[in-house]
A and B are shown apart, each in its own frame.
Chain A
Amino acid sequence: MLPRTLRPKGTLSPIQLRGPSGLNCRFLAHVANIEDIPTEDDKPFSVPIPDGSFETYHFHPPPSSLETTKQQLKQLYHDMTMVRRMETAADSLYKDRKIRGFCHLSTGQEAVAVGIEHAITRDDKLITAYRSHGFTLMRGGTVKSIIAELLGRQGGISYGKGGSMHMFCESFFGGNGIVGASVPLGAGIAFAQQYNEKPNVTINLFGDGAANQGQVHEAFNLAKLWNLPVIFGCENNKYGMGTSADRASAMTDYYKRAQYIPGLRVNGMDVLAVLSAVRHGKEYVQAGNGPLLYEYTTYRFAGHSMSDPGTAYRSREELKAERTNDPISNLRENLIDWAVFTEAQAKEIDESVRKKIAEQVAEAEKSPEPELKAEVLFQDIYVRGSEPSQRRGRTIDETYYPG
Chain B
Amino acid sequence: MASPRLFRPAARLLSSRLSSAPFRPVVQTACTPSILRSRGYATESGPKEVTVRDALNEALTEELESNQKTFILGEEVAQYNGAYKVTRGLLDRFGPKRVIDTPITEAGFCGLAVGAALAGLHPICEFMTFNFAMQAIDQIINSAAKTHYMSGGIQPCNITFRGPNGFAAGVAAQHSQDYSAWYGSIPGLKVVAPWSAEDAKGLLKAAIRDPNPVVVLENELLYGQAFAMSEAAQKDDFVLPIGKAKIERPGKDLTIVTLSRCVGQSLNAAAELKQKYGVEAEVINLRSVKPLDVETVIQSLKKTGRLMCVESGFPMFGVSSEILALSMEYGFDYLTAPAVRVTGAEVPTPYAAGLEALSFPQEDTIVGQAAKLLRL
Chain A positions within 8 Å of B, measured between CB atoms, are: 125, 127, 156-162, 166-169, 173-174, 176-178, 181-193, 195-196, 214-215, 218-219, 221-222, 225, 379-384, 386, 388-391, 396
The CA of A167 and the CA of B110, in the complex, are separated in Å by: 22
Contact partner of A125 among B107, B119, B142, CB < 8 A?
B119
Interface residues, chain B, with chain A CB atoms under 8 Å away: 71, 97, 102-103, 105, 107-121, 138-139, 142-143, 147-156, 187-188, 190, 210-212, 243, 290-291, 294, 329-330
**Would B114 and A185 count as touching, CB distance under 8 A?**
yes
Within the assembled complex, what's the spacing in Å between the Cα atoms of A114 and B282? Answer: 64
Q: Is the pair B150, A161 in contact by a Cβ cutoff of 8 Å?
A: yes
Other A-B pairs, 13, CB within 8 Å; known A157-B152, A162-B151, A178-B142 = A161-B150, A177-B142, A181-B138, A189-B116, A195-B97, A215-B108, A215-B111, A222-B102, A381-B149, A381-B188, A382-B148, A386-B210, A390-B294
- Whether A222 contacts B116 in the complex (CB less than 8 A), given A158-B150, A162-B150, A381-B187, comes out as no
Given A185-B118, A381-B187: A158 and B151 interface contact (C-beta under 8 Å): yes
Which B residues are CB-close (under 8 A) to A188? Answer: 111-119
- Cα A183 to Cα B151 in complex, Å, equals 18
> In the complex, which of the residues A169, A178, A225, A383 contacts B211, with contact meaning CB atoms closer than 8 Å?
A383
Most buried by A among B110, B117, B149: B149
Chain B residues within an 8 Å CB radius of A380: 148-149, 151-153
B236 nearest CB across to chain A (Å):
21
A181 B142 Cβ-Cβ under 8 A: yes
A-B complex: 9 closest residue pairs judged by Cβ atoms: A188-B115, A184-B111, A218-B108, A388-B291, A380-B153, A159-B152, A192-B119, A185-B115, A215-B107
Number of A-B contacts (CB under 8 A): 156
Q: How far is the CA of A161 from the CA of B153 in the complex (A)?
A: 9
CB-CB nearest in chain B for A190: B115
Chain A residues with CB under 8 Å of B111's CB are 181, 183-185, 187-188, 215, 218-219
| Interchain nearest-CB distance for B134 vs A (Å) | 13
Is the beta-carbon distance between B150 and A219 smaller than 8 angstroms? no
B107–A184 touching, CB < 8 Å: yes
In contact, A192 and B115 (Cβ under 8 angstroms): yes
Residues of B within 8 A of A386 (CB): 210-212
In the complex, what residues of A have CB within 8 A of residue B243's CB?
388-389
A221 to chain B minimum Cβ distance, whole angstroms, is 7
Contact A391 B187 (CB under 8 A): yes
A183 CA to B110 CA in the complex, in Å? 11
User: Which of B105, B119, B138, B155 touches A221 (beta carbons < 8 Å)?
Assistant: B105
Bound form: Cα–Cα A246–B61 in Å: 51
What are 19 contact pairs spanning A and B, CB under 8 A? A159-B152, A161-B151, A166-B150, A168-B151, A174-B150, A181-B142, A184-B115, A188-B111, A192-B120, A192-B121, A195-B121, A196-B121, A219-B112, A222-B102, A222-B108, A380-B148, A381-B188, A390-B291, A396-B330
A381 touches B148 (CB 8 A): yes
